[in-house]
Amino acid sequence: MPHSPHWIVPSLNLLASLLLLISFAMLSRRRTQRLITLFAWQGAILFTSTCLVAYSSGHKELYYSAALTLMLKVIALPWILHRLIRRLGAQWDSELLVNIPTTMLVGLVLVIFAFGLAQPISLMATTITRNTIGIALAVIFLAFLMMITRRKAITQVIGFLAMENGLFFAATSATYGMPMVIELGIALDLLVGFFILGIFFFQIREQFDSLDLRHLEALKEE
């Protein structure tokens, strides 16, 4: 490793714990706008930690993916999401399928499970961020939990994006990021997918006058 000042690893660990904390905060929030702000914060943490990893490991291409994160996840997506919910008037996620304390408990179990699963990988990793692989996996699982327990279309999408954040964090902490071409491809897919979802919101609202996914439960096996 070229140069790795002693403060790098503790601060990376700190950032990783913040990421996990935000994931839990997302589980407990009911206002959609708060969720978007939290999502933007997650992006900001990812940006900072990627920069730190790039600096300490000397992998220059990580700066590019950090820049991509900043543009896409901290600025563009939250901005579009804010505009979308204002236009659609979908500020509240009125109904939860499971109440918040229960969700939190399930979340805790998931975190423990994630750490157990990541243990063998962490032992093998040579990156300075190896301790955070478990956290990355936990972020993925918590985002998944959020998608399951929420009913509004927008909330599910934020959960989906948060899951992508976890995946990105996993890639950086386990392997210092995927090759640049792949990162670009993933970012492109994410962006296109997001636009399609935007189109979808309007179609769903036009048909159902609401973004509540309860209306989307007609197709079942009788």
Partner 1 sequence: MEILIVLGLPLLGALLLALFGARRFAAELNAGMSFATLVAAAFLVLRVLRHGSLLALHEQFFVDSFNVFLVALTAFVGFTTALFSRPYMRIEEQRGRLSPQRLRLYHSMYQLFMAAMFLALLTNNMGLLWVAMEAATLSTVLLVSLYRTRASLEAAWKYFILCGVGIAQALFGTILLYFAAERVLGREGMTALLWTHLNAVKGQLEPRVLGLAFVFLLVGYGTKVGLAPLHNWLPDAHAEGPTPVSAVLSGLLLNVALYAVIRCKVLVEGSIGSYLPGRMLMTFGLLSAVVGAFFLWRQRDIKRLFAYSSIEHMGIITFAFGIGGPIANFAALLHMTVHSLTKSSIFFTAGHASQTAHTQQMDGIRGLAGISPTIGWGLMLGSLAILGMPPFGVFASEFLILTTAMREHPWTTPFLLVALGVAFAAIFRKVQPMVFGESDAPPLPHSPALVPVFIHLAMVLTLGIYMPFALAEWFRAAARLIG
Interface positions with partner 1 (CB under 8 A): 59, 117, 120-121, 124-126, 137, 140, 144, 147, 153, 156, 160, 163-164, 167, 170-171, 174-176, 178-179, 181-182, 185-186, 188-189, 192-193, 196-197, 199-200, 203-204, 206-208, 213, 215-219, 221-222
In the complex, minimum distance from the CB of residue 149 to partner 1, in angstroms, rounded to a whole number: 14
* Coil, strand or helix at 31: strand
Of 6 and 206, the one with the shorter C-beta distance to partner 1 is 206
Q: Are 16 and 135 in contact (CB under 8 A)?
A: yes
Chain-centre distance for alpha carbon 209: 28
Quote the least distance from Cβ 188 to partner 1, whole Å. Answer: 8
Q: How far is the CB of 183 from partner 1 (least distance, A)?
A: 9
Nearer to partner 1, 75 or 147 (CB): 147
To the nearest whole angstrom, how small is the minimum distance from the Cβ of residue 139 to partner 1? 11
If the CB atoms of residues 2 and 10 are measured against partner 1, the closer one turns out to be 2
